[in-house]
Structure 1
Amino acid sequence: MSKRYAAVAITRSGIELAVKLGGRLGGTEVFVYAKYSGELEARSGEITVFDGPVRGLLPRLFGSYEAVILFFSLGAAVRLTAPLLRDKRTDPAVIVIDERGEHVISMLSGHLGGANKLTLEIAELLGSHPVITTASDVQGTFAVDLLGREYGWRADSFTSMKGVSAALVNGEPVAFVQESGERDWLPPGAEVPEHVSMFASRAELRYSRRSFSAAIVVSDRVTEEPEEDAPADTTLAEYTVVYRPRSLVLGLGCNRGTSAEELEAVVLRTLNELRLSLDSVRNVATAGIKGDEAGLLALCAKYSWELVLYTPEQLNTVELDHPSEVVFRTTGAYGVCEPAALLSSGAHSLLQPKLKSGNVTIAVARIVYPGEKEGKSGE
């Protein structure tokens, strides 16, 4: 798919507007009904002239584009798209624009699909009035299902998402626990509601002995039993959403030719022993000499981790408790996994100092974000 958006118009006025939008909104392919297309000709990747009912066109567009922009009535849009809906996590954004271009309506997938954001962009391009009805946007707060999306945060499960969202928009007491991750997650112009109480750790929440209808936890730490971190006299299990921020850096070193399987086994075992989430790993850091290590590259590719490389001079700027002459003779640096993890994370201390296992050495650091004091992460 070379284009991200599909704009569909079936009337003369709608076609005129759709073509105008196609020229202003990058990544848009315009689909126009042949009967009213006039002098318009199909242009590959820009304008497609279709003949036949729009009902037969929409299923293909739903599976091929991030957003479908419909230039006809809201009622018709609802009837035509209803049979195509599957899941809010996979359905494309659907935006409806009246044929005079007065209103741009975010109809479907406002949050996860990005319809609300795109609605505002289109309204600005066309000089139209944006219509957004999702409660969190109307109230000027944050959307639970979009939390930290721009930073790559991942929810452990969507099972309780609806319950937590309902508690948030209905003014029920909600606990927000952030042990790690970026601190500037609140969208521009949004505010934390008064009924949301902020905590720096699950321990702090527990000791508050307060009762909440729901909880949002942002943490790279894993607990075997969720109940063990619940506050006394508080029930959170039914409506708790846990987000995993990309807050960990793995410093890795290895002998030449070490397999991806051995590297992976060491990583998984180490994180499990530290009770840290694999989903919270942001990147791997190592010496530049390891930049062509096949096993290391394969491991990073499997988990979509960036591989950050440092020169010996950069690694040697980090003072080590136990510098290694052996490592220096091989790499030109007195250490690899520890200084690489510290440099990449911006931390001054390690969650896991250098640990050797077979052909692999590993160190783990938690990223320090602007305005954050190291150590304030639920430990």
Structure 2
Amino acid sequence: LIESKVSDPAVLNIDDNGNFVISTLSGHLGGANELTKKVSKLINATPVITTSTDVNKRLGIDVLARDLYLSIDNTDEILFFNKSILEGRQISFIVNSEKNLDYLYKYLKNNTHEIDVSINYSSKINTDEIHVLLQNHKIILKERKIVVGLGCKRGKECNDLYYGLKKSLNDLKMDISRINMFASAEIKKDEKGMLELSDKLNVPINFVDLDKLKLFESNDIQKSEFVKSKFGIYGVCEPSALITAGFDSKLIYKKTSYDGVTIAVAISKY
């Protein structure tokens, strides 16, 4: 059943007595290493992680991609780059200077002892891509679309929405600069607080047609009979985020309420 480190799920192995939790498959992209640490704490066991970058306290390029919600175009090159990082070689990141990449710079600063990176700029690089180079080897990291779905009671101010947004992103350990788009229902298109938030953070907002929301089906969304009775749709923030993120997108943060404001976060498949 093992196919690829891109698609394989995390698999852990735990002994009968619960003494050891072993990261067995998909330690990085699948999150088995982090899950191993979490489960071992819950059952007071010893975590066993054997991937070379983790053992040597180095940051794998696939870990960086997972943490920042980036896709990798050429997974066959992961081994080369991780081996190079282990050897202490400098990796070159090429980015577009027009793009706000604070999330990347902050992440690298926090992991400065685990990876040696030089940042270079080129107008030829797509704004949603990070090109990783060493010698004649190359990986392209591409942002998967992060869409924050917004809902609120009528008249909520920008600061109220911003508070809920910050709380949600803190839970996800995500920087605001990583957001690609906001989304809500067309019934909210005149909400001053939403429009101000979009303008303040320079993040575009998509107001989804009611017809699309009425037709949208997903087992992941929380259905509200109250919203259904008022507007004919079962929800605002979750379905709006999923529709805007595109086909086969998924929620990475389910609807959470903050005093009249609701936040959900969806991510595109690729």
C-alpha change, 1:297 and 1:362, in structure 2 (3 Å) is same
Q: Which residue in 1 is equivalent to 2:260?
A: 359
CA shift, 1:205, in A, is 3.4
Residue 272 of structure 1 pairs with residue 187 of structure 2: no
Q: Which residue in 2 is equivalent to 1:69?
A: none
Please give the residue correspondences for 1:1-379 in structure 2 after superposition, counting only pairs within 5 Å: 178-179=65-66, 180-181=69-70, 198-199=77-78, 205=82, 209-216=86-93, 223=107, 225-227=110-112, 230=114, 235-236=115-116, 239=118, 245=143, 247-316=145-214, 317-321=216-220, 322-346=222-246, 347-368=248-269, 372=270
Q: Is this contact kept in 2: 1:178–1:199, CA < 8 A? A: no
Query: For the pair shown, which has the larger CA radius of gyration, 1 or 2?
Result: 1
Q: Secondary structure of 2:151's partner?
A: strand
CA shift, 1:207, in A, is 11
Question: Which blocks of at least 5 consecutive residues in structure 2 are unaligned?
Answer: 1-60, 96-100, 121-128, 131-141
Which residue identity is paired with 1:315?
L
C-alpha change, 1:262 and 1:206, in structure 2 (3 Å) is farther
Q: Secondary structure of 1:335's partner?
A: coil
**1:244-289 alpha-carbon deviations (Å, 9 max, x no partner):** 9473111000000000011011112211221112112111111110
Q: Secondary structure of 1:350's partner?
A: strand
CA shift, 1:208, in A, is 7.4
Q: Secondary structure of 1:339's partner?
A: helix
Q: Is this contact kept in 2: 1:324–1:334, CA < 8 A? A: yes
Mapped to 2, the partners of 1:268 and 1:319 lie a distance apart of 26
C-alpha change, 1:340 and 1:217, in structure 2 (3 Å) is farther
Q: Secondary structure of 1:199's partner?
A: helix
Q: Is this contact kept in 1: 2:147–2:267, CA < 8 A? A: yes
**1:212-231 alpha-carbon deviations (Å, 9 max, x no partner):** 21243989677483147x3x
C-alpha change, 1:207 and 1:352, in structure 2 (3 Å) is farther
Mapped to 1, the partners of 2:83 and 2:168 lie a distance apart of 27
TM-score (norm 1): 0.40
Mapped to 1, the partners of 2:218 and 2:241 lie a distance apart of 13
C-alpha change, 1:352 and 1:296, in structure 2 (3 Å) is same
Mapped to 2, the partners of 1:320 and 1:267 lie a distance apart of 24
Mapped to 1, the partners of 2:201 and 2:88 lie a distance apart of 38
Q: Is this contact kept in 2: 1:246–1:280, CA < 8 A? A: no
**1:283-339 alpha-carbon deviations (Å, 9 max, x no partner):** 111111000001111111112222211233312313244311011122221011111
Provide the aligned C-alpha RMSD in A.
3.6
Q: Is this contact kept in 2: 1:320–1:335, CA < 8 A? A: no
Q: Is this contact kept in 1: 2:245–2:268, CA < 8 A? A: yes
Mapped to 2, the partners of 1:354 and 1:214 lie a distance apart of 38
Which residue identity is paired with 2:255?
K
Mapped to 2, the partners of 1:363 and 1:205 lie a distance apart of 34
**Number of residues of Structure 1 aligned to a counterpart in Structure 2:** 175
Q: Is this contact kept in 2: 1:178–1:217, CA < 8 A? A: no
Identity of matched residues, %: 27
Which residue identity is paired with 1:344?
T
RCO higher in 1 or 2 (8 Å CA, sep ≥ 6)?
A: 2
CA shift, 1:348, in A, is 3.3
